[in-house]
Structure 1
Amino acid sequence: MDPKVYELLNSIPEQADYAADAGDLDSEDISPGRVDAVKELLLESGDEEVQFYAAKLLTSWGYHEGLVALEKFMSKPEVFEGLYTHRLHGYDDTYRYILMAVIMYFANVAEKEGKEIARVQVRDLLLKIVALAEKRPFEISEMLRFVKREKYPEYMAALKEYLLAIIDQPDVHRWKIYDALEFFVAVEPGFAELILKARNKLIDNFKPSRES
């Protein structure tokens, strides 16, 4: 990647020491010129990988064209899969980064335009990510916190399917199982109890070791 493009997509202003990466920046720390330059990359870069990074960043910042582009990229996984890997286990973690960008989008749009607008816009992409997490090892703890906080019922059926798909595969899904069980203990304890009773187990039986 060209150094100038990398700087545009990744730099954090000196005063923004709260941000872990450029997607975390508050609006006051994002110049209009930078937004325009990232939008230009999204539209005009001949490198689809660069376009993906631009779409993800614009999504994090709350720009709808970024979200639309990111959703289109979901049909072209060959462009972005493998761009992020889990630091301990080495599996592809890119979908988790997409998930975090979409949840940041929700927060930014909810603040500017209202939660109901943001709620509708993120729904389909979040449901796609949950479905993918049934088969892949990336975590969706941010999604569970989002649904618990916002109390949006439209995700509950998908999250139940998610837990049922992963619960008997601890070697693949590790902490995901325990996190999902904790979520249901908090928001729908009867469902969690049913799942545990069917396996004659307690929730702590699904808690991996710290090394997992």
Structure 2
Amino acid sequence: MIEAWQRIFPGEEAVGRDLLARWSEPHRRYHTLQHLSLMLGVIDAHAGLADDADAVRLAAWFHDAVYEVFAPDNEARSAELALTALGSLGFAPERAAEVARLVRLTAGHAVEPGDRNGALLADADLAILAGDPPDYARYAAAVREEYAAVPDEVFRPGRAAILRKLADLPELFRVVPARTEWSARARVNLEAEIATLLGAP
């Protein structure tokens, strides 16, 4: 995947390889290179929907670069990492600030009207929700593995509440052309997982 990084920063390896190492940390089960690759694929396929596609790509690279399962400030720390790393590469400060803003946005996926960069990043980050049932099942299982330290009686209702908030959003996807189809598939997946979580003994 270093080639994808070097399409933005030709010849640069140090920061790119640091990010790859972060995404490959052994405690990760869902927030892995596979998730990053899926996001970049969505962004590349719909780059014309963004005002600054490379800023969106960089936000994908950095958005879970700092990931500790129970930490409340992963996005904030990832945004600071982006500012520092991009500054070291001579990236324009205003564009680096935009990358950091986008990274912070992934904490809750709240996208303001007209925010084309944020909308594409949010759609890419949530794309797994619209996956085929086997892909979604692998995603759900990976999330459970990341929270293996949490007992079932705590995890199930907590996870179900998070999924319910997503399922109840008026818009799950905002700009991808297939957003209606994606939203329909995602709601089926979410409702199925919620039923499993709350129906299990």
Name the TM-score class by shorter chain. Answer: 0.3 to 0.5
TM-score, length-scaled by structure 1: 0.35
TM-score, length-scaled by structure 2: 0.36
Query: Which structure carries more relative contact order (alpha carbon 8 Å, separation 6+)?
Result: 2
Larger radius of gyration: 1
